[in-house]
Amino acid sequence: MDPTPSRQQPLAGIFLPLVTPFRDGALDEASLARLVAHLAASPIAGFVLAATTGEGLVLDADETERLVAVAASAAGGVPLWLGLCGSDTRKLKQRLDASARWPIAGHLVACPYYSRPSQEGLRQHFAALARDASKPLLLYNIPYRTAVNLANDTLLRLAELPAVIGIKDCCADAAQSLDLLRRRPAGFAVLTGEDALFHTALTQGADGGILASAQTDPAAFVALREAVLAGDLAGALERWSGLVDLVRLLFAEPNPAPIKHWLWRSGLIASPELRLPMTGVSAALAGRLDRLLWARRAAA
């Protein structure tokens, strides 16, 4: 993929919101490099770093910069997007400016959390970020985390700005998502972030997904999307039937604990460690994940 995406080359495909490996309280660079190299060998469209799944809120600035540097060295040219969130527009602009020099394709920027701005406040917030952005912006609408919903009318006004090239849609409202897919302008990417709704989103016209669960088997998620694009809806549904139980299990407890457990058991990261306030999976879920992992390995 071109490292500077635009409306002329809209985003599409499977993007992986990468976990951030920790060990003994520190960034585990060896596990990070191993994981990125492994996943980059699959036909994915890109990585998203330091977002929700990457525990971005508990990374300091130096760790985030190092995370990007290590991932870039291991990614083999697969584009990297940096997740950013915050409720202070001025501070977020500073973070956009500071990270613009890093080896990233663009930024994934979530709606402001906790402050619950109006639609006009959301419009002005993102417009201020986009006005001086030197990298493309993907907006991130996830109201069940931020407590504010970016309405389609507001989003479509923002989509007129050249720097705003798409959205990660986690609005959790099927009618709103379908309305957006019907009304979006040409070249504006809609990527679902709802893993459990991936198949539905594709059949309705979404361009792909930013899917935490796809880290467990990226090729399978890519193959599902390719089946939909080829018009093989029966084949796509069959592929989804083979994935949906895994997806549900990976979100049975707060993300990214189950996915980190799976990647640890798979030998891709050295530890399932998280930073507080996140904690590891329960013993019951660990057992269920292990049994499913062994079963999938035995069937392979």
Number of structural domains found in the chain = 1
Rounded to 5 degrees, φ, ψ at 127 are -65, -40
Q: What is the pLDDT of residue 2?
A: 41
* Cβ–Cβ < 8 Å for 106, 138: yes
Residue 102's Cβ-count burial label (10 Å; 0-12, 13-18, 19+) is middle
Q: What is the pLDDT of residue 260?
A: 98
- Quick one: pLDDT band at residue 3, thresholds 50, 70, 90? very low
Query: Is 77 a member of any domain?
Result: yes
Query: Is 192 a member of any domain?
Result: yes
**Omega cis (within 30) before 218:** no
* Cβ–Cβ < 8 Å for 36, 16: no
Query: Is 171 a member of any domain?
Result: yes
Query: Is 3 a member of any domain?
Result: no
Sorted by sequence, the CB contacts under 8 Å of residue 264 that are 6+ apart come out as 270, 271, 272
Q: Mean pLDDT, to the nearest integer, of 204-210? A: 98
Q: What is the pLDDT of residue 4?
A: 60
Distance from C-alpha of 22 to C-alpha of 32, rounded to nearest angstrom:
9
Query: Is 195 a member of any domain?
Result: yes
Q: What is the pLDDT of residue 234?
A: 98
The enclosing domain of 189 has a CATH number of 3.20.20.70
Compute, in degrees rounded to 10, the torsion defined by CA atoms 110, 115, 119, 122: -40
| pLDDT tens-digit map of 43-69 | 999 999 999 999 999 999 999 999 999
Compute, in degrees rounded to 10, the torsion defined by CA atoms 226, 40, 75, 167: 40
Residue 5 confidence (pLDDT) above 90:
no
| pLDDT tens-digit map of 58-114 | 999 999 999 999 999 999 999 999 999 999 999 999 999 999 999 999 999 999 999
Query: Is 252 a member of any domain?
Result: no
Residue 168 bears catalytic tag: yes
Instruction: Please tell me which residue in 93, 113, 114, 140 is annotated as part of the active site.
Output: 140
Closest of 113, 116, 171, 161 to residue 141, by C-alpha: 171
Query: Is 256 a member of any domain?
Result: no
| pLDDT tens-digit map of 36-47 | 999 999 999 999
* Cβ–Cβ < 8 Å for 221, 14: yes
Q: What is the pLDDT of residue 300?
A: 76
- Structure token pair of residue 280: 């590891």
| pLDDT tens-digit map of 147-176 | 999 999 999 999 999 999 999 999 999 999
- Name the residue range of residue 154's domain: 13-231
Distance from C-alpha of 298 to C-alpha of 257, rounded to nearest angstrom:
24
The residues with which 108 forms a beta bridge, in sequence order, are: 83, 138
Residue 260 bears catalytic tag: no
- Structure token pair of residue 107: 């930024």
Query: Is 270 a member of any domain?
Result: no
Q: What is the pLDDT of residue 248?
A: 96
Q: What is the pLDDT of residue 299?
A: 87
Q: What is the pLDDT of residue 61?
A: 95
Residue 7 confidence (pLDDT) above 60:
no
- Quick one: pLDDT band at residue 118, thresholds 50, 70, 90? very high
Instruction: Please tell me which residue in 93, 135, 168, 260 is annotated as part of the active site.
Output: 168
